[in-house]
Structure formats: structure tokens, C-alpha cells
Structure 1
Amino acid sequence: MKLFTIGDSISQGFRSLAAARTDQSYSTLIARVLRADPYRYPSWPHGGLPVDLELLMRRLESRYGSDIGGFEWTTVLQTINGVLDEAEDYYERGEGNEHRPYPSDDRFWHNTAFWGATVADAWQVTPAVCKQSILAAKNNQDEFLGPPNAAFYRTALKVLNPQLDPALDGISQLGWLEQHAQDKNEGVENLLLWLGANNALETVLRLRIQQTPNNPSNRPYRLGYFERKAFGWNLWHPNDFAEEYEQLLSEVERIMARNTQKNWRVFVGTVPEVTIAPVAKGVGETFKIDGSTYYKYYTYFPFEEEFALTTKYQLTTQEALHVDRCIHQYNDTIKSLVKAANARAGQQRFFVVDLCKALHDIAWKRNDGQPQYQYPSYFDFIYPKVDSKYYHADETGRLRQGGLASLDGVHPTAIGQGLIAWEILKVMRAAGVQVHGVPINPDALDWRAIFAGDSLYSSPIRIMKELYQHPRLAEMLVKLFDAWLE
């Protein structure tokens, strides 16, 4: 097996708040450059889980054009509910429900990433856990403005056990890695390992911090899965993260040491600064701290400082800085653990891909509108240009800003996924990965196809201006977003 992936939402191809386009994820792009055939992954009908914001916005556009008129506002919620109902019907009661095997005969996927995964979920989330959680959330009635219930577990179930084989109900992401590594006919040649963002991401999704307690006798990963989830933590204390990640890397090291593929490599991604995500809009006074620009408050896009002051939706400068400093410590831990693993192996088997730095350098506001990132040469003369700001297109269908982050303001577009692939491929080339005896070439990415396949870029959404010019739609979506996170 040339390539195997363990990760979370970005690795899965999650975008615009849904697991939808694994075919456009960075790992799939890398598999094509590697000529890893087969490289199997699931697809997600009806926009995927939990809610496809792009599908929702395009439905609004198809009904109302680029403007929502006065009386039409009375029908907007019904239009939104129609999109949600289609997904709810399919994933709760239709062909995509928890009792129907995936329609192909695939027993496993080469990409085992699923959205929402924390570090410990790599071994704690199994199909059995998913089935238990889906059963507990069971509700066969339509919910107005509600996405499919237990959406996280429905996604993870079909990733980890697509044929719903009871014999595989105890298998996790690490369990699949072990099965493939010990396969006498293949083994695993290259492993992409990128986890840790969800140990901090909800701080910007919910705009509040619930930090783990840093209790040496009771680290979060030592708790049972459901016990750990009940606490509602969304930011791991660096010491809690360190022990959890050490457990992850120790298991990967153990599994890969028994790999039947002797010339194996593991590529480990660092944790991005979640506060640079455009969903968390910086408002108010700015401050230069640790060489980066921070804002007085962070609130949901597209609102301004007054919204942050008059609602619960805010993080302060100090809170955002605290989250970032925790993440910087996470990454110091990852680099230290990788170094120790290579020392034990007596050679370099693990390679750090510093995606935190790459995404920091891309960030528009964090760099005072002067991003330091060096894009591939293909980007030199593209028009319209892309950047990391929140997506916006005008009523004529012209892209005004953004293009790297999808409509949830967190996850990358197809173009953003391409840049992540490019960063990883550069490290793979330096690590000596070859394709048919030739060093792997990061510039083998088909950027023309990536841009053409990015629907937000190639077919901008004209109704986006309603989010900018009229707060009514934005406020409506924020309330729904808040409810969907509960």
C-alpha cells in the first residue's frame, strides 16, 4: 500500500461544514502524484454530514437569485429546511442510514480520516462506539432546521466499517493501520498522520474556552470515550496534549516497526493556529504580539465589534493568544516526540510537515495584509487572486476575496487542499520518496484541474452579498450554526 491516511476533517476533505469531497482532499491529490492505485475513499451524497453550507447557499441562490426580497424572507427558513431534510432523510432513514452498508463492495478505505477526531479518537472511536451513539440519538421524526442526528458518528461509522461487518466493530483508525501494516502482501509504505487540531478547534467554533484540568493522575485520554466527551473540553492543556500525543505516536511507532513494508515513512503534520480561521473575525483595536497581529475581540464573520460586545459570541485578545500559545506548545511536543522516535529507530522514519507555519504565513490579517507565503508558480498570474480572507462574491458572480477557506470559514477549499498537498509533497521529496525510481515532484500537482474543480472559485455564489450587506441572513445562520454544534 503506497499511501494510508489517519486524520480529521481536513484530511477527510470536509468543507463548508460537511464531509463531502474526499476526492479533492490533499491526501487524494498526493495519491495521484504517487500513482497510488488503488487509493479508495468514500463519497458523501446529499452534501454529506452534517450540513453542506455550499449546497444550502446555492439552493437559496437558485430560488432568490442574488437578492432576497422583502416578502421572500418569510420563506427563507423553509428553503433552508428543505436542504436539511434531504440529508436527514438520506442519512437517518434512506440509503445512507446506519443499517445500510456502503453501496460499493469496499471493505476498507485508504483514507480513514473523519471530521471532529481528536488525538485519542484515533484509537477510542470504533464502529461499536458509533452504533451506540447513533442508537442513543435515534429519532425517526423530521426535525425542523435540524441536520441528521449523531452526524459525527454516522460519518465515522461508514469510514471505519463501510460494509458494517460485525467482526470489525472494534476497529479504529490505528486498528486499520495495524491490519494494513501487517499485510504480508503489501504493508504501508507512506503514512500521512495529521491529528491535533480538534484538541483546540472548538474554541473558535463556539467562541469560548473549556480547558482540560491538567490532572497528572487523570489525563483525558485515560478516560473512557464517553466519559471524556461528557466534560465538553475544547482546549487541551499542553501537558494533557503531550501525554495524549505521546500515546498516539508510541502506537504508530509500534505498529510500523512490524510493518511488512520495510522502507516505510511517516509524515506528521503540526497543529494549525485555529485562531487564523476566517470564521473568527478580528474586530476592534489591533496589537502586535509575538510578531503577529491580534485583535481586541474575535467574533463570527461578518459581524463587527458591537456584535462581539452585545452577544456571547466573542473571544478576547488574551483568550485568542492563550489558544495559540497552547498550540505552539503542542507543536513543540510533536517535534520533540518525532525526534525521539527517530532516535529509537536509528534512522529517520518520521518527518514533520510544519503545516502550522505554512498556514500562518498564508494568513491575511495575522500578517497585516502582507502574507509571507511563497505560492507555487501557477498562482503568479491567476485571476482572480485567492487569499485567506472569508469568501465573498458579488451579485455578478465575480470573486471578490477568499478562495482558500470554504464557507464554514475553517476548512480549505479544493485550492486550499492543493496547497496542503504541495507542502507535504515537498517534505516527501526531501525524505526520498520516489515514483517509479524518480524523486516525487510537488509540481506534478494538476493545478489547472484543481482550480477548475473548485466550485466556489470556478462558479462563485452570487447571493453571498446578502451576508455582507444584510445581517439578517448572517444572524439566522449563526443561530442555526450554534444549534447544530450542540
Structure 2
Amino acid sequence: MSVPEVPAPDELVISVEAPEPVRDDLGLEFTIESDVDVAHPLVTIGDSLTHGFQNLAVRNTDRSWPALLAEAMGVTPFRYPVYPGPDGCAGLPLNMEELLRHADTITKGRPLPAHALRLIVALYTQARGVQRYWGFGPGRLPVEQAEFNHNLAIYGWDVRDALSKNVGWCQEQLAERPARRSWNPRRLLVQNDGPIAALRALAGPGDPGTTQLTAARQLGAEGVGTLVVALGANNALSSVLRLRLVWSGDNFADLNGKKAYTVWRPAHFQQEYDQLVTEIEKVGARHVVLVTVPHVTVAPLARGVGDKPEGSRYFARYTYAWISDDQFDTADPCLTGTQCRQIDSAIDMYNQVIIEHVRAHRQAGDDWRVFDLCALLDRLAYRRYLDDPTTRPSWWNRYGPYPLPQALRELHPRPDTRFFLSDARGRTQGGLIALDGVHPTSIGYGIMASEMLAILARANVPGAVGATIDFADLLRRDTLVSNPPASLGGDFRTLGWLQHRLQLFAALTELW
């Protein structure tokens, strides 16, 4: 069965190659006065990449890149939400790493299918415990705190969500869809996990109208040193999670209507991002950093099938990572290489919108900067560029692959962006992307924090000059990489088994 090609928007300009990395100051330099003391040196707004999501859960928020950045800069206090959960499976909505740790105790390092029935019962029971905790136990209770968090990121949120969703909206969702006990083995996710996560992120002295942006504005009234905004990835990520390309329609700003779309037309993205910038300006931060949107097709959840055409950065077909080349059938969910090129080209246009906003503010004398996360991840993209020199863009020789920190270069195998795999011997591939195939591991978040630290050092932000991320220490704290689950298995067969029996990865599509 062929994949129907979806007509591209008229305004879409197809990129011949990935755009060249941009300097954080865009080459527009000016003298920056010494910073004065501010009440809130660092505030961040974003989605799952800033929230600290990994392994299908938001859990290790102390190892999100904002928390690592604040730690390196000596910023205290730096408040962020926490997601405890039941013993043995903390986090929201479902911590895959902890599930596999539990599986290790049953399989003793042998592949998961070796104890199929016993294992299914055990993992199902553990997942039900997580559901009870968040739906009927301590997790359902509101968090009371006197001050807003400094990390205001919320997983699953796009630009419109940041503008429109507020505390009252989250409370309404919980009231309209109360948790119900269900014994359906295909439904392992926590009900209403999104509103629950958001209410913890937005906890503080606000009212039902509190959004990410109004919370930041209230912090700004007391003084914000640096505001980092990293939004826009979820305006395209669903295309990879669902393996479907559906361009946004005229109701793209409707919170319910937009659920049908997986990629925003560039014109629609610009309308919303322009509104976002207007709200960012109201915070009054001394330094503002806008983060570019990564090429979501680089995420290893979607795996290229077969061999890439010579000289092309795209495979002919992309399907889920656990579907091997031998198993793949064109009836399986997939994106075509042409569709992936369109998605990435739309993202390139998103990023031009972001860059031009920074340019306008720098020309006006404001210290706004760009963190080109898109280019950083392109320079780490293993199957797209590192493993295939014929596909590298014209600017590659000037920049080269991203240089990993010394502590990571010494690891064997060297961490990369392929899907994480491990067995009884240890990690066999990957290491920068966590078990959900989309979000970074802790060392991956460390790379983001290190790059942001360099940007703030160039801006003379107090605490950033001379500071570094201790990757040797972070590696010890990154339990997935330093002590990987043995029961995962060293190939994709175990991933396929997990998906077939427990539908774990299908849960990703329900989060957005």
C-alpha cells in the first residue's frame, strides 16, 4: 500500500539542505553593561525538552537542562516541579526505565519474552500502581507552594498551549474527566496526566488564569535576569509520534480543533509565535534566549527503512524503531522521505521566524539571543550525517560533528543518537536519547545545558563565565547510561515484544 502524499502548503519552501548553524548573537554585537542583582536569575518556559521528560515520564526534573544549568551557575534557589509517584516506579505518566529495572529482577538478564506471562502480569501490576497513585492517591492532591517555579516548562505543550492553557483549564479537564478504574491491559497510562503535570509546573500564588507566560510575568515584576523560551517542537512532533502528516487548518488556534493536526503550516506558526513574543516582552527580562526547533525527524523513534538513496539525507520510508527491515510492510505506519523533507522544511521556516525576532530585538539594543538547538542536534544525527558522509550539508566541513565532552568520548560504545539498546553486557548503541526514542538522556540534557551555559557566558551573565557542566558526575547520575537495564535486549526484537504486549510506545501518541 502506498503512502498518500499530502499537498504541501503554498508558502512552504523546500530546503535543499539543513540550514547553517547561527551564532547566538547573529553577528550583532554591542556592549553589555554589568548585570545588577535580580530576584530570579534564571526562568525557563518550554515543553518536554525543557521540563526534563525522558523514558516516557517526567521524573528526574533535577536533571533537566535548566536545573543542570542553574546548578553550574550557582543559582539558588531554582525551583522546579517534582513528580514522585509510587515506590519502584516514580514519575508521570509511566517510567520505562523503572519498569525495565523491575523486569530485570524477573528475567535475570535474559530477553523479556523468556518469562512472558509472569512478566506481563508484573509490569501490568506495577503500571496499575502508578495509575492508582496519580488518579486516586497522593498524586491527585494539588501542590501548595508560595512561589512560582523557575522552570515553567510543561511536556506536550505547543505555542498555542503556552498562550491559552491555564490553571483553570487544567482544573476543568480533571473535573470533566475524573479518573476511573479500568482493567483494560491496553491502557497503561495515567488518566489526565497532562493536566496533572501542568498543575504541578504552574503551582504557586497565581489564580485560575495563570499561564506559563503570566507566571513568568509575575516573576518578572520582581526581576528576571535570563528568560529562556523553548517552544515549537510540539507544532511538528506529532508527525513522528503518529507517523502521519496532517497540515494545520484554519482552526489551528482552537485547543480542541488543533488536536487533529501534526504539523503547523509556517504561516500559522508565525501568527502564534508573533503573539508569543509579545507576551515574552512583557516579562521584562534582562537577557532573553529563544531556542530553535529541532528537526523532529532526527528522533530515533522513527527509523529509516533499508538503505538511504545515495546523497540523500532521507530514507525512502520511516517506521517505528521496533519494526525491522525484514518485518516492514508498506501497510505499516510510516512516513515517506518526501514527507520528512517537508516537515523539516517547515521547521526551517519556523526557525527563521524565531531568528528574525531575535535579530529585531538585537537591532533595537536588547540582549536577545538564539540557542540553535536544531543545528546542535543535526551535528549529532548519527544515521543522517555521521554514518553517511555523502549526505552532509555544504557547511559541514566548517563546523564538523558536535564534539562530545571528554567524559562521554571515553565511553564505549561512544554515545550517539540511535535508539537506546542494551543487554546483559551493557549499552550496545545509543546513549544520548532515552528509552522513549524522542527525549534526551541525562547526559543528553547535559549537552544542552553546556551549550546554554556558553551562550550566557558570552552575554556576561553572572555565574556563567568560567562555569562548566561536570559530565563525569552527571554520567554517574545518569542511571540509564551508567547502569543500563539488562532485560531490554541488544536488538529491536524486545522493543517489538514490548509494543505488541504492552503498547508502551503507543502511549507516546496519547501525550500530545
| Normalised TM-score (structure 2) | 0.84
What's 1:386 paired with?
A: 415
Which whole-Å CA distance do the structure 1 matches of 2:46 and 2:373 have between them?
Answer: 14
Instruction: Name structure 1 gaps, 5 residues minimum.
Output: none
2:488 partner amino acid: M
Alignment of 1:116-127 (within 5 A): 116-127=156-167
- The equivalent of 2:169 in structure 1 is 129
CA contact (8 A) 1:81 1:144 kept: no
How many Å separate the matches in 2 of 1:106 and 1:88?
A: 28
Following TM superposition, by how much is the alpha carbon of 1:482 offset from its aligned partner in structure 2, in angstroms?
A: 2.4
How far is 1:376 from its partner? 2.7
Q: Give the drift of 1:474.
A: 3.9
Residue 43 of structure 1, aligned match among 82, 89, 94: 82
1:375 pairs, out of 392, 396, 404, with 404
Q: Give the structure 2 partner of residue 440 of structure 1.
A: 465
1:87 aligns with 2:116: no
2:375 counterpart residue number: 357
Question: Are 1:57 and 2:134 matched, yes or no?
Answer: no
Where do residues 4-19 of structure 1 align in structure 2 (5 Å cutoff)? 4-19=43-58
User: In structure 1, the residue corresponding to 2:157 is in which secondary structure?
Assistant: coil
Equivalent residue, structure 1, for 2:192? 150
The answer on whether the counterparts of 1:271 and 1:330 sit within 8 Å (CA) in structure 2 is yes
Matches within 5 A, 1:388-407: 388-396=417-425, 398-407=426-435
Instruction: Give the aligned residue type for 1:334.
Output: I
Amino acid at match of 2:115: E
Does 2:207 match 1:168?
A: yes
- SS of the residue 1:210 aligns to: coil
Report the counterpart of residue 204 of structure 1 in structure 2. Answer: 240
CA contact (8 A) 1:298 1:308 kept: no
> Which of 128, 144, 152 pairs up with 1:112?
152
Per-residue Cα deviation, 1:205-248 (whole angstroms, up to 9, x for no partner)? 111112103x4xx6x23x3x33444xx21110011111111110
Kindly tell me: are residues 458 and 53 of structure 1, through their superposed partners in 2, closer, same or farther at Cα, counting changes over 3 Å?
Answer: same
Would you say the 8 A contact 1:269–1:352 is kept in 2?
yes
Counterpart-to-counterpart distance in 2, 1:361 and 1:129: 39
Within the candidate set 49, 68, 77, 1:29 is matched to 68
Q: Is the 8 A contact 1:466 1:473 kept in 2?
A: no
Selected match of 1:331 from 340, 348, 351: 351
1:11 partner SS: helix
Report the CA distance between 1:71 and its aligned residue. 7.2
Residues 195 and 471 of structure 1: is their aligned pair in 2 closer, same or farther, counting only changes over 3 Å? closer
Q: In the alignment, residue 31 of structure 1 is paired with which amino acid?
A: A
Q: Which residue in 2 is equivalent to 1:287?
A: 309
How big is the alpha-carbon RMSD for the aligned residues of Structure 1 and Structure 2? 2.2
Farther-moved stretch of structure 1 (232-241 vs 467-476)? 467-476
| Aligned-partner residue type, residue 406 of structure 1 | A
Q: In 2, are the aligned partners of 1:130 and 1:154 still within 8 Å (CA)?
A: yes
Q: Report 1 or 2 for greater relative contact order, CA contacts < 8 Å, sequence distance ≥ 6.
A: 2
**Whole-angstrom CA distance in 1 between matches of 2:351 and 2:47:** 17
Q: Check whether the contact 2:301–2:321 (CA below 8 A) recurs between aligned residues.
A: yes
Which residue number in structure 2 is paired with residue 347 of structure 1? 365
Q: Secondary structure at the match of 1:309?
A: coil
Deviation for aligned residue 1:117? 0.9
- Compute the displacement of 1:472 (Å): 5.2
Match of 2:142 in 1: 101
Distance 1:296 1:478, change over 3 A: farther
2:487 to 458, 463, 466: 463
Give the whole-Å Cα distance in 2 for the aligned partners of 1:389 and 1:70. 23
Matched with 1:272 is: 294
Greater share of residues in helix: 1
SS in 1 for 2:404: coil
Q: In percent, how many aligned pairs have the same letter?
A: 31
For the residues of structure 2 that align with 1:419 and 1:471, how far apart are their CA atoms? Answer: 27
**1:179 Cα deviation after fit:** 0.4
For residue 340 of structure 1, report the CA deviation from its aligned partner.
1.7
**Runs (5+) with no aligned partner, structure 2:** 1-39, 389-399
Counterpart of 2:439 in structure 1 is 411
CA distance in structure 1 between the aligned counterparts of 2:502 and 2:437, rounded to whole angstroms: 12
1:479 equivalent in alignment to 2:503? yes
What secondary structure is seen at the aligned counterpart in 1 of 2:229? Answer: strand
User: 2:457 and 2:121 mapped to 1: Cα distance?
Assistant: 51
